[in-house]
Structure 1
């Protein structure tokens, strides 16, 4: 029998495509099932068959509902996976938005390729379909935090611990053959609005931890000063502020700060549009789970409910995040009207790295004017339009044509939902003993190398930087 081991099927040497295969006693557990994103060479991996037959995977664990952790699940189901998928209840809720939306985009990309001949395949097919996404959702089994449950029989067990990265996000603690393996997922941050701090963990035999920002520190929290300056300066120019945003998680923090700055009279009262059906759905889930958020929002639960009388149903569902002139944009026609408008406003739209979604049309309409500002508020992977713009590109390809970049391009890193190097080290300091091995995943090479050096120097732990498709045997 193959000795117990761990194979890094994704998020090794890069930040996307999280998939970690745990094998023991002739059984297989896949932890996370994410899409590769960014560079074409990475995206092509989504089309390659997995090194193992999906039908032989006994169970799957999702740490959270971001696409790079859950977006491959419909493809896995289409290829034969039939096991149960364990996740938190909020992750199940958010997956009900993320997976159908991703399937729709896959189908639309295939239709566009066939319509315009942008394909070497006849016909071009989607990576997966809406039917595959629906079948994937039917396999999700929600499990609350801090409650070990068996994956089959009595053991192994999985326990979800709040990671503070996204609504429903978790570390997955798997107990197997007397060992504790902690899959860190994405580690959240300390002292941030909206989400609670990442929960401490005392010990693990094997630890997988992200290294996304392993080589840097985030900007210090300035209580919204930079955002206030960007909003005010753009408004003074009579321009639009376009904020490409991850539809789930980041929109909530942006709205928190805009609402706070407006309440403190530090920015003008402008129309604030959220132009993303998925972001609107996520806002409603966040608003329905205020008790799972940061203490500031937990205290809001009763207040918000008492203030909701008389509001429209749509606004009532997101009242905790709504500014004075807050508008949700759902239909394509509403979005088109907003794009055509030259009224000074703030537009939040996905995707966060400008790889697709409605934000592309907003960028196409605003990049050529010096009045406007584009503000990025999250990680920009290599090869994405967001990375190109933040690196100073003078022109960018959007919707099949090149656009000159005259608008102001700004970046605020303090809103990142990923722990930086110091925050990772703070979290690791909570361990009462060193893991037998710590594997660094979910980071580009320079970031992983810097974090490995820091862990070695400060914690004196054994550390290994995971490589794509590498298999390691679990220490005895």
Structure 2
């Protein structure tokens, strides 16, 4: 059995791993690259392995950096089945078509505004391509063992990152070896998600390292967010929160309505301006047994949030000049309706922009939280006069201490640990920390490395 690293090496995006033996190929995750241009260009390169030769795909979770390339994979010849948890399947029905739609819209906008170097910009895949890919999906429950490819037995266990997120356990019968892919590991004390389930056995572990070089802030996120909203509203400004449609948007809605109900911030209109995030919130509420929030708490979110569904409503909201809170995708300000809000709100010092988690290098979110004086949106530069914050404590990724604690909770004695899904420094520091604590053999692979298992 061989393991090849096709993505998420030296970066937090483009998660793709290939397991193979003499007869079969199984792909774990099939994500898009995001962030700096050199990474985004990889989405347009030929897939490292001929899609026709891949027998099946298994997903850790629905986020686009783990699932977003699937429509292109199917478009380019993949014929097999895509396996995931029930929650991941539900979310992919929202995320993938929306991603295709947004790419089509961005291509049209670039054509109209003439800011692309291409005569006629084309999307990587369309909404129709996404629906075609979804025909290949098959969902299963946690702890249900299945055989996606002959001789490969796979099980999902909860990873605590977002709804449906999982660690993927792949046991190769002939080799009698088990590879476990952590996916994105959640927090030990997340506000809305339950902690990740400890891993009991792995011959090889592929572990993420998004926060391998840092700890989350110990500042109470509710207090920090309350202070920002209260101060911004007091000066007549608007709080804009670019948020990932899945997971972060739902957490933010819960926290904002909680602190509003406690009287810690004034009663303000709260808008969720993202069709994808709205649908994800509805799914989140339907699956309330998989997270900490009760049906009643989910109902409070639904009743007190103004959902902005139509483009016309979004344009109208963009003209708002009264204190309010707007949550809009995407979380790193890389696309979607949030860009139009940024163009309106950034130049005014009364407003506040609040990011809520990791910002990949090269994204607008990264530029803004690092003090950029202007940012380029739709071919033009916009001055940054608004206050910009990053509430790192709201991240859905465990920091390095939480991941070490999670690893210690199981009965692991892996032969090798491969640290991926992190910037170069973060991955190497995670490697050192795992080595020092457990005395395991730990390596940081490079792109396209292949190892024997």
Q: 1:135 to 1:158 in 2, by over 3 A?
A: same
What pairs up with 1:361-372 in 2 under 5 angstroms? 361-372=340-351
Distance 1:385 1:40 in 2: 12
Answering whether residue 281 of structure 2 is matched by residue 283 of structure 1, we say: yes
Structure 1 residue 234, shift from structure 2 partner:
0.6
Structure 1 residue 118, shift from structure 2 partner:
4.2
Aligned residues: 451
- Residue equivalent to 1:268: 266
Q: 1:116 to 1:268 in 2, by over 3 A?
A: closer
Contact 2:101 2:127 in 1 (8 A): yes
Contact 2:24 2:149 in 1 (8 A): no
Answering whether residue 318 of structure 2 is matched by residue 339 of structure 1, we say: yes
User: For 1:174, which of 157, 170, 194 is the aligned residue?
Assistant: 170
User: For 1:133, which of 123, 126, 130 is the aligned residue?
Assistant: 130
Q: 1:271 to 1:99 in 2, by over 3 A?
A: same
- Residue equivalent to 1:186: 184
What pairs up with 1:61-460 in 2 under 5 angstroms? 61-121=58-118, 123-153=120-150, 155-176=151-172, 177=174, 178-220=176-218, 222=220, 224-294=222-292, 297=293, 300-301=294-295, 303=296, 319-322=299-302, 324=304, 326-460=305-439
- Residue equivalent to 2:11: 14
Q: 1:228 to 1:119 in 2, by over 3 A?
A: closer
Structure 1 residue 323, shift from structure 2 partner:
6.7
Structure 1 residue 222, shift from structure 2 partner:
1.3
Contact 1:12 1:466 in 2 (8 A): yes
> Under a length normalisation based on structure 2, what TM-score does the superposition of the two structures give?
0.97
Contact 2:419 2:445 in 1 (8 A): yes
Distance 2:112 2:348 in 1: 32
Q: 1:431 to 1:385 in 2, by over 3 A?
A: same
Give secondary structure in 2 for the equivalent of 1:11: coil
Structure 1 residue 9, shift from structure 2 partner:
0.7
Structure 1 residue 116, shift from structure 2 partner:
4.2
Contact 1:259 1:323 in 2 (8 A): no
Distance 1:323 1:233 in 2: 25
Deviations 1:360-408 (Å, cap 9, x if unpaired)?
Answer: 1111111111111000101101011111110001111122211111111
Q: 1:121 to 1:375 in 2, by over 3 A?
A: closer
Distance 2:435 2:86 in 1: 37
Q: RMSD value over aligned CA atoms?
A: 1.4
Give secondary structure in 2 for the equivalent of 1:387: helix
Give secondary structure in 1 for the equivalent of 2:6: strand
